[in-house]
Amino acid sequence: MKLGQAGTLTVLQLIHGMKLGGAEKVVRLIASGLRDEGLRPVVCGWYTGGEEADLLAAEGITIAPPLANARGWRRLLVPGHLHRIVKAQHVGLIHAHMSDSAVWALLLHWLSGRPFIITHHNANLIDAIVTKTAWYRWLRHALVHFCARRADLNIAVSETVRQVLMVEAGLQPDQVRFVPNGVPLPPEATVQKARKRRLARATGGFDAPEDGPMILYMGRFVAQKTLDVLIAAIPDLLARFPKARVVMLGEGPEGESLKAQAEALGVAEAIDWPGRVDDVTPWLENADLLALPSRVEGLPMVVLEAMAWALPVVASDIPSNRELIGDDDFGRLSWQGDPADLARAMIAALEDPAGTDAKVERAIALIRDNYSIAAVARLHVQVYQSVLRPSGSTGG
């Protein structure tokens, strides 16, 4: 691998912001893994910092500041701001995440001559696709396609995203590499303790006087997650498990409408809304089931985290979820957009503790062997090597 000025390759991890979120967490975990592999990551949320950046700073990883007030016409100043970071930090490679940052990475490539790669986290390829007008979506798609075709390499977090890149952006197979998201592996003893507790509760039929299964959702409250389907499934869930609790862990623009829907259906008392939390470990450890009814995903971090924690998963039957869950091998799939089928799948998972635990056991092995932070970091290093060897690029 070609090295930077200090003898270590410096890689700029570029994303719009570092607040708590799926892609932001991926960037943090990649940066930590690369540091452990002997590289020097520099992380920049060019629009805003946030909690994920604070966590990295506490690990001693370099955080480059965002451009102050990068709104309106000031967004034109972003390339110059980032170019100064590239020079000051002796960056040898630019690794952009998501569509806005792909544009900046291409401009930085033109300004600095540094090679750049793009990680595509979503099968839609662009951010905020659901909330914008048709012409805006078309323009953003055109921009990200343009950038992807000029990148030294593209990373797809799932085979689904890889296929979308080749079909929609016209990429050749050698222009896009599949590298999945990775998750930390929790302590094995803690995972097995949580697994045994879930199995005992389900085997007993959740029959304690005050007890009922805890269904967990983690993530943003946005349209692409179709959380109205989950809320609409709760009446059927309560008909079978009257003491069930549904925990909606997160926040977002759909929050108020979801609460109104729960009130209208008469299930508001069965739902907890803890908001956004810094540490999701207690929820992953104590829940009985994870539900993910999304209509679009790249490679869902919440499913990887749930599998790592031996938490059974019910997810919508969309290509990216099926990649992880298989044909009900590692969890259960439900028809996307169908509340009755989502309720059926959740009830089936809770009513079949032995079958569900067998899926959990296979899921734990899958994550350990293929989706650990260390394994994914090594794959990123291989990608960087493949980009730098033919280019002869160095930092400095």
Write the pLDDT tens digit of every residue in 32-71. 999 999 999 999 999 999 999 999 999 999 999 999 888 8
Please name the residue that has the structure tokens 């019910």: 314
Residue 92's nearest CA partner among 362, 319, 305, 393 is 393
CATH topology assigned to domain 188-370: Rossmann fold (3.40.50)
The pLDDT, as a whole number, for residue 157 is 93
* 210, 212, 264, 337 from 268: Cα distances, Å: 18, 16, 8, 21
Q: Is the pLDDT of residue 318 over 60?
A: yes
Q: Is the pLDDT of residue 3 over 70?
A: no
Residue 28's nearest CA partner among 2, 50, 4, 46 is 50
Q: Is the pLDDT of residue 176 over 70?
A: yes
Give residue-wise pLDDT tens across range 358-379: 999 999 999 999 999 999 999 9
Cβ–Cβ under 8 Å, residues 120 and 298? yes
The CATH 3.40.50.2000 domain(s) of the chain lie at 10-182+372-391, 188-370
Q: Is the pLDDT of residue 298 over 70?
A: yes
| Range 202-229 burial, b when 16+ CB lie within 10 A, else e | beeebeeeeebbbbbbbbbbbbbbbbbb
Mean pLDDT of 185-200: 96
Whole-angstrom distance, CA of residue 370 vs CA of residue 385 = 20
Q: Is the pLDDT of residue 391 over 80?
A: no
More confident residue, 160 or 41: 41
Least-confidence region, from 27-36, 276-285, 333-342: 276-285
Burial grade of 332 (CB within 10 A; 0-12, 13-18, 19 or more):
buried
Strands, sheet with 289-292, edge to edge from the N-terminal-most edge strand? 271-275, 245-249, 214-218, 289-292, 313-316, 332-334
What three-state secondary structure class fits 48?
strand
Give all strands (DSSP E) within the chain, no chain letters. 10-17, 40-48, 62-64, 93-97, 116-120, 153-156, 176-178, 214-218, 245-249, 271-275, 289-292, 313-316, 332-334
Whole-angstrom distance, CA of residue 43 vs CA of residue 46 = 9
Nearest-10 crossing angle of helices 227-240, 255-265: 30
Give residue-wise pLDDT tens across range 333-361: 999 999 999 999 999 999 999 999 999 99
The CATH number of the domain covering residues in 10-182+372-391: 3.40.50.2000
Quickly state the pLDDT bin for 131 (edges 50, 70, 90).
Answer: low
Mean pLDDT of 246-252: 95
CA Rg, the chain, in Å?
Answer: 22
Mean pLDDT of 127-133: 57
Q: Is the pLDDT of residue 384 over 50?
A: yes
Q: Is the pLDDT of residue 218 over 80?
A: yes
Quickly state the pLDDT bin for 5 (edges 50, 70, 90).
Answer: very low
Mean pLDDT of 253-280: 95
Residue 183's nearest CA partner among 376, 383, 50, 331 is 376
Mean confidence (pLDDT) of the chain: 91
Concatenating the DSSP letter of every residue in 179-239 gives ----BPPPPHHHHHHHHHHHHHHHHTTS-STT--PEEEEES---GGG-HHHHHHHHHHHHH
More confident residue, 7 or 82: 82
pTM: 0.84
The pLDDT, as a whole number, for residue 9 is 96
Angle subtended at Cα 263 by Cα 292 and Cα 212, rounded to the nearest 5 degrees: 55
Q: Is the pLDDT of residue 1 over 60?
A: no
Residue 252's nearest CA partner among 269, 277, 233, 276 is 276
| Alpha-carbon dihedral angle through residues 70, 71, 76, 77, given to the nearest 10 degrees | -20
More confident residue, 99 or 263: 263
Dihedrals phi, psi of 222, to nearest 5 degrees? -130, 165
Q: Is the pLDDT of residue 115 over 80?
A: yes
Percent of the chain residues topping a pLDDT of 70: 94
The pLDDT, as a whole number, for residue 394 is 42
